[in-house]
Amino acid sequence: MEILDRLVQALYSGVLNGSVYGLMAIGLTLIWGSLRMLNLAHGALYIAGAYIAYGVLGGLGLPVPVTFALAVGGAALVGLFIQLILINPILEKPGRDSAALIATLAASIIVQSTILLIFGGQTKQLPPVVDGGFKVGTTLISYQGLVVIGAAVVCLLLMTIFLRASRLGLAIRAISQNMDAAKLMGIPIVPAFVVVMVISAALAGLAGVLLGSILFFTPSGGFTPMLMAMVVTIFGGLGSVGGTIWAAYIIGLMESFLAVYVGPSWALPGIFLFMIAMLVIRPNGLLGLGEVRRL
Amino acid sequence: MIEANAPRQGQALPRSAGDRPRLRPAARPWAEPSWLGIGIVAVAMLILPWALTLVDGGNYVTHLIITFFVWGIVAQCWNLIMGVSGVYSFGQLALFQVGAFTTGVLSFSVGVSPWVSIWAAPIAAVAAALIIGLPTLRLRGIYVVLLTLAFHELLRNWITTGPQWISGGGYGLARVPRLGFDRLLGPQYERVFYYYTGLVLFGVATYAIWRVLNSPIGLAFRALRDSEDYAISRGVDPFRFKLFLFAFSAFFTGLAGGFSAHYNGLASTSLFDFGVMINLLVMIVLGGWGTFAGPIFGTAILTFLTELLRAFDLYRILALGVAMAVIAVAAPEGLVPVLTRAFHSLFGVLFEADEPPAT
């Protein structure tokens, strides 16, 4: 039975990882697709979500679902500020790529050090939405884990529907296909950018809140999830939403299978080596658009 | 600069076999150095540490200047990669650590003389740079960011969890042998010799970087930046030039890492912290991304300002973030170009005869 136990363990944590990576990576890929910039503040938004929930819960004592909604809204608000104050002014300037890189990195430093000043550097954890769990063999499957997976899948589906069916989603997809043509067709570019940023910040915040009740977090804890989200984004093909969702689960499962079968310290190196190999063979990702030149 | 290589109208082509293209004097500033200026600076720099030993607290200032030498080299090297060649590599600090830990392990755990082992630092850093550079430099922007950050994380992981003789138990090697300068004139003058060593390293690195920036390689990068397609069609191979610059900057970065390890007697894993990387990046961004003087200026400001603001340490990183944000939005090219322009517009009347600054 031990073989089966390990399999269940690997599958469960793989799907859990994949769900969170999906939430993180979808925002990254949307921003990449429309704004053509790498948002290095994404990890800070993730951790901002977790800390806002922690602060609201400790300070106001509101019920957990309200707290989580406030935290997601707070992360979205931080994203809105970043977009309005830092990104919008540099959109039309020359040397935009490096300026955007610096601006988003600066945003991430500001958010992280503000959190550090308010909450201190100790590790924190959020209480779960639902307590308890059940056992499959020796693997403990918590209800909280299932909530995370369920919420992530629902959000990813909603995102896909939003992008496919709504007018705004159509506009965002048009911008990511060809910004100049979209501009000529009368799509208001800058408001669309703001919407993209807010959505992606909210999703990152949601990921932070959901995972904050499973893992411990510190002010700089957004870095590794962001790195993994970047891996997922690249693996799925930059700017491709469908590819990103597939990639999130593939990478999540790969990480947990490596951790269970080879050893926990091999999970990250294994994924990065795989990444390098894939970039050499398929430089545009799993379902990447066949474009010759990307930033 | 660019037309310096091309024949001007009415001139014969300087193209016999083996004949190197001749540059105009303005394009080869190293050929006619201002010996007086160099002499004054050199003498001042040579006297400075001795003067500082006489002043109260001067020892600490000497230490700050040595720190400035170390980070000045690294900032200049990173600027070569980030600013000049436009490769968004975040692996420079990892290369610095490769240098520090190579010489640290060799001299502390193996027992080689530090004067020998320090030369292994740049070699190991160049080797590491080639290993990272070969797969990544063909890729663009975001891929390079990811792979270099991954390299940084993996190296940090590997060193902190590695065997005792590398990790020193997780915090790094705490007793790296020093260079033995205390035996020359007594311990109170030890710092002076570290100062000289740092000065030589800094001077050599700065001169080499300056030469590279004013060489056909620097020209190639300017061409690539201005119009990549045209430069490629004229035979500039971006991959080769980027790989060269990557290895070149790794050499001095590794050397600075080795020197820093022997000066502080410490190869610390805490230098892998993201804050250190941010600090370095702010040095480049503040002074001027892609300029020659920018990183030196930025390093000087940050090294000495950080010490003055030590009492407000908690707010320091926040202030760095705000400074970076302001620079990115208000003056993306950095302080040095802005200040130079302000200076020339203020005092331009006085220097009417001079040529406008070639920036």
pLDDT digits 0-9 by tens, B349-358:
555 544 444 4
Q: Does residue A117 carry a pLDDT above 60?
A: yes
Same domain for B248 and B297, yes or no, is no
Domain presence at residue B123: yes
Cα–Cα distance for residue pair A135/A102, rounded to 1 Å = 47
Q: Does residue A2 carry a pLDDT above 80?
A: no
**pTM given for the model:** 0.82
Interface of A with B in 36-65 (CB under 8 A): 38
> Which of the two residues, B178 and A24, has the higher pLDDT score?
A24
A234 has a chain B CB within 8 A of its CB: yes
Domain final position from B245, B272, B299: B272
Domain final position from B235, B250, B272: B272
A281 has a chain B CB within 8 A of its CB: no
Domain final position from B216, B241, B272: B272
Substitution target from A93, A105, A234, A281 for chain B, most B beta carbons within 10 A: A105
Q: What's the total number of domains in chain B?
A: 2
Contact present, A276 and B139 (Cβ < 8 Å)? no
Instruction: Quickly state the pLDDT bin for A1 (edges 50, 70, 90).
Output: low
Substitution target from B79, B136, B146, B274 for chain A, most A beta carbons within 10 A: B146
Same domain for B268 and B309, yes or no, is no
State the smallest CA–CA distance between residue B161 and chain A in angstroms: 9
B185 has a chain A CB within 8 A of its CB: no
Q: Do A231 and B139 touch (CB under 8 A)?
A: no
Cα–Cα distance for residue pair A42/A101, rounded to 1 Å = 12
Residue with tokens 């894993």: B269
| A32-52 pLDDT per residue, tens | 888 888 888 999 999 999 999
- In the beta sheet, which residues pair with residue A124? A217
Domain presence at residue B185: yes
Contact present, B76 and B83 (Cβ < 8 Å)? no
Question: Which domain does B161 fall in, by range?
Answer: 36-272
Same domain for B343 and B231, yes or no, is no
A235 has a chain B CB within 8 A of its CB: no
Q: Does residue A189 carry a pLDDT above 90?
A: no
Closest CA to A115 of A70, A57, A71, A50: A50
Same domain for B144 and B282, yes or no, is no
Closest CA to B232 of A145, A29, A213, A293: A293
| A216-257 pLDDT per residue, tens | 888 888 888 888 888 888 888 776 788 888 889 999 999 999
- The sign of the torsion formed by the CA atoms of B83, B85, B90, B95 equals negative
Q: Do A116 and B157 touch (CB under 8 A)?
A: no
Q: Do B146 and A227 touch (CB under 8 A)?
A: yes
Contact present, A94 and A179 (Cβ < 8 Å)? no
Domain presence at residue B40: yes
Same domain for B299 and B229, yes or no, is no
Q: Do B278 and A105 touch (CB under 8 A)?
A: yes
Fold of the CATH domain A2-281: ABC transporter involved in vitamin B12 uptake, BtuC (1.10.3470)
Domain presence at residue B212: yes
Query: Do β-strands B267-268 and B172-173 pair in parallel, antiparallel, or remain unpaired?
Result: antiparallel
Same domain for B323 and B267, yes or no, is no
State the smallest CA–CA distance between residue A135 and chain B in angstroms: 33
State the smallest CA–CA distance between residue A167 and chain B in angstroms: 29
Tell me which residue in A97, A100, A109 faces B278 most closely, judged by beta carbons. A109
Segments of chain B scoring below 50 in pLDDT: 1-14, 353-359
Q: Do A117 and B139 touch (CB under 8 A)?
A: no
Tell me which residue in A90, A102, A234 faces B143 most closely, judged by beta carbons. A234
Q: Does residue A173 carry a pLDDT above 50?
A: yes
User: Is the ipTM above a cut-off of 0.85?
Assistant: no
State the smallest CA–CA distance between residue B140 and chain A in angstroms: 5
Closest CA to A153 of A286, A248, A256: A248
Q: Does residue A147 carry a pLDDT above 80?
A: yes
Contact present, B81 and B245 (Cβ < 8 Å)? yes
B232 has a chain A CB within 8 A of its CB: no
Q: Do A265 and B161 touch (CB under 8 A)?
A: yes
Domain presence at residue B105: yes
A88 has a chain B CB within 8 A of its CB: no
Same domain for B254 and B154, yes or no, is yes
Domain presence at residue B122: yes
- CB proximity list for A243: less than 8 A, separation 6 or greater: A236, A237, A285, A286, A287, A288
Domain presence at residue B358: no
